[in-house]
Amino acid sequence: MFVTDYMLMSFEKPIQILVAEDDEDDKLLILKAFERTLPKEKVTCVEDGEALLKYLKRTPPYDDLEKYPKPDIILLDLNMPRKDGREALAEIKSSDELKSIPVIIFTTSNSADDIRITYKMGSSSFITKPGSFEELVKVTEEIENYWSKTVLLPG
């Protein structure tokens, strides 16, 4: 069976991305990189794993669904204060309401242990943050293309 152009067009949609990142400079660079492919309102940031879980569970101040839409994917830094990415990932993947949201580990780590452990915990991808803004733009374009044009996401 061949996929028609109509099917491909109906398959493509802008994705809602939630970024959990504690470093302000990294957060600004990630937002700037995504601006090239996604409208600003399609990327939301929280500062750590604790805020991420409040957002996902609709706990104030994140209880306004219009202002804080449900994410299609999560970009999760591992090393954050209060609740790190590993703890947040464990909570997300143990929740029946949240575990179907794909979680992309997006961190400075390239540790084989971090990669193995986070995949075992249920992460969908592991990406080491690139060293330059140009490389970051390429990575964000690949993320957007893959998650909005290639795969089907849960509704």
Domains annotated for the chain, with CATH where assigned, are: 13-144 (3.40.50.2300)
Rounded to whole angstroms, the Cα distance separating 108 from 84 reads 13
* pLDDT of residue 142 exceeding 80: yes
Cβ-proximal residues to 146 (8 Å cutoff; 6+ apart), any chain: none
Residue 40 is predicted with a pLDDT of 74
As given in the structure block, the two tokens for residue 121 are: 């915990």
Q: What is the tens place of the pLDDT at every residue in 15-55?
A: 899 999 999 999 999 999 999 888 777 999 999 999 999 99
Mean pLDDT, range 45-72, rounded to an integer: 95
Range with lowest mean pLDDT among 29-38, 94-103, 117-126: 29-38
Tens digit of each residue's pLDDT (9 = 90 or more) over 124-139: 999 999 999 999 999 9
How does pLDDT run across 73-84, given as a tens digit for each residue?
999 999 999 899
Question: What pLDDT score does 36 carry?
Answer: 87
Please give the model's pTM, rounded to 2 decimal places: 0.89
pLDDT at residue number 90: 98
Q: What is the pLDDT of residues 143-153, one digit of tens each?
A: 999 998 888 88
